[in-house]
Structure 1
Amino acid sequence: MRVAFVGKGGSGKTTMSSLFARYATTAGPVVAIDADINQHLGLALGIETTPTPLGGRLTEIKDYLRGDNPLIPSAAAMVKTTPPGRGSRRPDLHDPFFLDTFAVRDGDLRLMATGPFSEDDLGVACYHSKLGAVELYLNHLVDGPGEYVVVDMTAGADSFASGLFTRFDLTFLVAEPTRQGIGVYRQYREYAAGFDVPLAVIGNKVQSADDVAFLRDHVGDALLTTMAHSPAVRAMEQGRPFTLGDLEPANLAALGAMLAAVDAQEKDWARFARQTAEFHVKNARSWANRATGLDLTTQIDHEHAHA
């Protein structure tokens, strides 16, 4: 199952991603992906080794994923939205190319990252060019039951700059009990409308029953659970030793509710395939055909089974 964490900058999105990724390892293997420009997920997970950036080796990733797909003659003819077809490589969660090249392992958890801006990127590149590596990975990934991909996304509505926001079985929007936090939820809900994006709100930094009531009044049934202000989490953020056993019982139960919600989702491969094709056609006609000098809409293999 693929899980995205989104929310306002400063909402605790990265911390919640790290806590959920740790918790999900109790149920199965986890690949956590830092797709936020600030690149703090490894720090939150207590992983000191920096992964090889996905965004820095995009051509290599394209060459691997295209395999011998006859519709994609070269990496140059492949863009972030390119869908898999017959002959494409379809990695699973244990694929050695991705795990050996790009992942840092900590038990049953592997961390991958898009990578930060390089010196050459400053002033000339958009961060979404790096996110294209994650989008291609998820376009081609075949994940199975009891396996989890946890992605710490860019903050706010910036996630909508590509079709990446449709690549998840469930999206958790982390919201503080404030007008700003609710505002981001409303904006995300509005943009996601019509795309069949399952969305649940996680209230974070909750300090009272009034905070819970505030969230419930503004998001209604979308509020799945809440995380109370946590001395254990604050200690973790300060770099002190941390295990899930240090969490307060109510916060541990909140993580359990999140995992149960993810496991209850049905994998909708038909939606993934349909939306992958739709966004590829949209990008091809908007900019990619012009950039490559090719008609990339012909890359869609209508006979290919997505999973």
Structure 2
Amino acid sequence: MKVAFVGKGGSGKTTLAGLFARHLAAAGAPVLALDADINQHLAAALGATDDEAVLLPALGDHLGEIKEYLRGDNPRIESAAAMVKTTPPGRGSRLIGVDRPNPLYDTLVRDVNGVRLAVTGPFASEDLGVACYHSKVGAVELLLNHMADGPGEYAVVDMTAGADSFASGLFTRFDLTFLVCEPTVRSVGVYRQYTGYARDFGVRVKVIGNKVDDASDVEFLRAEVGDDLVGWIGRSAFVKAAERGRFQPIDVLEPENRAVLADMRTRVDACGKDWATYARQAAEFHRRNAAAWASDRVGADLTEQIDPDFIINPAGIDVALRS
């Protein structure tokens, strides 16, 4: 299952993404965490030191290799250079799993305190004024477009804050999106903006309250987001200790907060897979990008990359692994 964490900057979405990934890994579930936020803090949320985080390989620095591998021998894609962030898989493409071995993971995924992590990479000084961060996030979109995840395995993505997530079709790539919401007017405003866009595309969104002090905070959130509120995290000594550099095992997390993580996993598992819709959405956003900029940039009609009869079958990953 593919899971996104979104919310206002400072709401605690990265903290929740890290806690959820750690909860899954501690339970023995296959999990891949992906940091797609312009502010790269997921490694720290998983307990990496600053020195360790700096050494993590960046997906954005290996975009050519990612494209070349995923392209496989798909006859609709002439070259890796012709691939863009929305290029969907087709017959001949290589599919990836959550934890199945492949050369990309060998190069780009690292274990951080028991959680496998890949990071988009920071916005570098040479990018200032000349590049868009979403070109880096495109590596995550390509990986998710080609990911044949099965039941009981999880890709957990920390998305960029606020409505920036809508700068590509990446927001449609998830089985369930958790919007982390503080009991404040500004945080609720981001919820309304996000759900206003997302639900036009059938994106499932559930709200997790964060920094909840008392019953009045819960009442405020319920009044503002209604039944979308499915749980909340109270002020946590565990989280405070982590933010001060004291990293502890996940089983030290307060029982009531651990129960929220367990319920979140149950809700993710209850989401049915709809691979046909997944393919349709991928094709729709690829057409949009092709018309807006991509075809002109590449010098070809990129809508021809869409294989109209192709729908991901998780069993197909075995074929990809042998190729």
Q: TM-score, normalised by structure 1?
A: 0.98
Does structure 2 retain, via aligned residues, the 8 Å contact 1:29–1:109?
no
The letter of the residue matching 1:184 is V
Return the alpha-carbon distance in structure 2 between the equivalents of residues 215 and 107 of structure 1: 33
Which residue does 2:111 correspond to in 1? 105
Q: What secondary structure sits across from 1:120 in the alignment?
A: helix
Does structure 2 retain, via aligned residues, the 8 Å contact 1:4–1:150?
yes
Q: What secondary structure sits across from 2:126 in the alignment?
A: coil
Does structure 2 retain, via aligned residues, the 8 Å contact 1:33–1:114?
yes
* 1:108 shift after superposition: 5.1
- Alignment of 1:301 onto 2:302: no
Which residue does 1:16 correspond to in 2? 16
* 1:107 shift after superposition: 6.3
Which residue does 2:316 correspond to in 1? none
Which residue does 2:34 correspond to in 1? 33
Does structure 1 retain, via aligned residues, the 8 Å contact 2:180–2:209?
yes
Which residue does 2:247 correspond to in 1? 241
Task: Indicate the larger mover: 287-296 or 239-248.
Answer: 239-248
Which residue does 1:165 correspond to in 2? 171
Does structure 2 retain, via aligned residues, the 8 Å contact 1:12–1:204?
yes
Which residue does 1:2 correspond to in 2? 2
1:270 to 260, 267, 276: 276
RMSD: 1.1
Does structure 2 retain, via aligned residues, the 8 Å contact 1:5–1:17?
yes
Which residue does 2:192 correspond to in 1? 186
1:62 to 67, 73, 77: 67
Q: What secondary structure sits across from 1:143 in the alignment?
A: coil
Does structure 1 retain, via aligned residues, the 8 Å contact 2:20–2:261?
yes
Return the alpha-carbon distance in structure 2 between the equivalents of residues 241 and 301 of structure 1: 47
Which residue does 2:222 correspond to in 1? 216
Return the alpha-carbon distance in structure 1 between the equivalents of residues 277 and 5 of structure 2: 20
Which residue does 2:298 correspond to in 1? 292
Does structure 2 retain, via aligned residues, the 8 Å contact 1:182–1:219?
yes
Which residue does 2:84 correspond to in 1? 79
Return the alpha-carbon distance in structure 2 between the equivalents of residues 108 and 225 of structure 1: 25
* 1:106 shift after superposition: 4.0
Corresponding pairs, count: 307
The letter of the residue matching 2:212 is V
* 1:122 shift after superposition: 1.4
Does structure 2 retain, via aligned residues, the 8 Å contact 1:27–1:146?
no
State percent identity of aligned pairs: 61
The letter of the residue matching 2:37 is D
Cα deviation, 1:107-152, whole Å, max 9, x if unaligned, reads: 6520000000222211211100000000000000111111110000
2:266 to 254, 260, 264: 260
Return the alpha-carbon distance in structure 2 between the equivalents of residues 262 and 59 of structure 1: 32
Task: From the superposition, tell whether residues 96 and 2 of structure 1 become closer, same or farther in structure 2 (CA, over 3 Å).
Answer: same
The letter of the residue matching 2:34 is I
- Please, which runs of 5 or more residues in structure 1 have no aligned partner? none
Return the alpha-carbon distance in structure 2 between the equivalents of residues 229 and 306 of structure 1: 41
Q: What secondary structure sits across from 2:75 in the alignment?
A: coil
Q: What secondary structure sits across from 2:125 in the alignment?
A: coil
Q: How does 1:95-174 map to 2 (within 5 A)?
A: 95-106=101-112, 109-174=115-180
Does structure 2 retain, via aligned residues, the 8 Å contact 1:289–1:296?
yes
